[in-house]
Amino acid sequence: MRRRIYCLSILVLAGAGSFSCTSVKEYQKNKINDAEMALSNRKVEKTELSFQSYREGSSGANSGKSGGGCGCN
């Protein structure tokens, strides 16, 4: 498992490093600030995320909660 995490970390860092970022001024962010560009889940997805975390063995890294609540059924 450690080896996999190491490989993934390298991939993620390489991916991050390959972006060439330009400095975007606040007045140039009309598209970036669009509600549908948000880098998070939408409110309307709330129940979807709950049932996915119950019906699937993995969860987390999606801005939702990582525990709490049963989901027993």
Classified as helix, coil or strand, 28 is: helix
Residue 39 makes contact with other proteins by CB under 8 A: yes
Residue 6 makes contact with other proteins by CB under 8 A: no
Residue 52 makes contact with other proteins by CB under 8 A: yes
Tokens of 56: 């699937």
> Which residues in this chain contact other proteins in the complex, by CB under 8 A?
1, 4-5, 8, 12, 15-16, 19-24, 26, 28-29, 31-32, 34-39, 42-48, 50-52, 54-63, 65-70, 72-73
